[in-house]
Structure 1
């Protein structure tokens, strides 16, 4: 069984926000909720600007599932982390635990009044019957049941956002990084680990002209 995963190639993302628009349009996401967003680091700094599309990463060991006091989260056979809005009490614990800021609360009001949580579903719907009206109203369209990839992935014009079977996604990204060589290593790898990933080739140093 495939394990569904997302990965965004920062070397290809152009901050067009096509993925964000596609998600909101496909699922009729309410105002104030962004299941997906584009984050830009070093914005405006020449040569250092990087953008990356962020949403729920459907973690193998999801912290949101660990902290939810009512166990509204569950995981499908494909590894997609979903939640049951009929069980959710809007406590907000998941939003504090998630490192990606995926859980969203659409209601506005006094502190503590959050309403039902909403997040990226990997276009896999929810606990209701696949393709039903109730499923669409609560969670949006179930594209996975239709044999399709998430709308954000299909809409990405530069193919920076990859989604699908984790092994295939990893292989595509690994091939890209290897072809780029040392200068095109996985963005953030050096910061996290202090060295280039295995398989990347260090770029030759240019000789200074006398």
Structure 2
């Protein structure tokens, strides 16, 4: 059985936030909740990199360990989902998650949390696949339709990979091996030629 995972290639991410927009549009995410966000490290200085972050669907998920009502469950594909009918909005999962994946509605009385929301890997929830109740609570179930998460499909540079963990790991490994290092990461040699090509004489004057 496939184990679904995300991998974000920081060398390809251009901080366009297309993945964030695709997620919000696909599932009609309420205002104030972002299932996915783009984080930029070393912003504005050499070595700046961006990475798309959401629920990583951990094999040993800390959110599941701390939830007092056990609203989290794991599917056969390894996707970590939750039951909003069971969730009490205590917020323990948001403190335990190292990725900040569990989100709570921003509106409402001060100090009162609503039902937790997070990335579902576009796999819906405990309701019947494709049902109106499932969409209202968790968004579209693309996994049941044989599709990948919308965020990964809409990534313009294919920085965000999603699917079977072994497959996406192989894709990422092949990228690292082939693209080299330094300027070659961005295809400098393809666009402008290698140093050897640049140093070759082009002709002599008479």
TM range (shorter): 0.7 to 0.9
For structure 2, the 5+ residue unaligned runs are: 184-206
How far apart are residue 182 of structure 1 and its match?
A: 4.8
Cα pair 2:123 2:144 within 8 Å, conserved: yes
Q: Secondary structure at the match of 2:52?
A: strand
Alpha-carbon shift at residue 180 of structure 1 (Å): 2.7
Q: SS at the partner of 1:122?
A: coil
CA distance in 1, matches of 2:180, 2:12: 15
Q: Deviations over 1:92-112 (max 9, x none)?
A: 00000000000000143222x
| Structure 2 residue 26 is the aligned partner of structure 1 residue 5 | no
Residue 87 of structure 1 pairs with residue 89 of structure 2 = no
Report the alpha carbon displacement of residue 183 of structure 1 after superposing the two structures with TM.
4.2
Q: Distance in 2 between matches of 1:29 and 1:150?
A: 15
1:194 is matched with none
Question: TM-score, normalized by length of structure 2?
Answer: 0.86
For residue 60 of structure 1, give the secondary structure of its aligned residue in structure 2. coil
2:27 aligns to what? 27
Secondary structure at the aligned position of 2:113 is classed as coil
Cα distance in 1, alignment partners of residues 181 and 159 from structure 2: 19
Q: Provide the residue aligned with 2:105 in structure 1.
A: 106
TM-score for the superposition, normalised by structure 1: 0.85
1:118-174 alpha-carbon deviations (Å, 9 max, x no partner): 000000000000000000000000000000000000000000000000000000001
Distance between the aligned counterparts of 2:118 and 2:76, measured in 1? 19
- Shift of residue 179, structure 1, vs aligned partner: 1.6
Provide the residue aligned with 2:56 in structure 1: 57
Partner residue, 1:172? 171
1:120 aligns with 2:86: no
CA shift for structure 1 position 178: 1.3
Residue of structure 2 in register with 1:40 after alignment: 40
| Alpha-carbon RMSD | 1.3
Post-superposition Cα deviations, 1:179-208, rounded to whole Å, max 9, x if no partner, equal 233549xxxxxxxxxxxxxxxxxxxxxxxx
> Residues 5-47 of structure 1: CA distance to partner in whole angstroms, max 9, x if unpaired?
00100000000000000000000000000000000011111x3
2:155, 2:19 → 1: CA distance?
Answer: 6
Q: Which residue of 1 aligns with 2:203?
A: none
Please list the CA deviations of residues 65-123 of structure 1 after superposition, one character each: whole Å capped at 9, or x if unmatched. 00000000000000000000000000000000000000000143222x10100000000
Distance 1:90 1:52 in 2: 28
Structure 1 gaps, min length 5: 185-210
Aligned match of 2:152? 153
Question: Secondary structure at the residue paired with 2:51?
Answer: strand
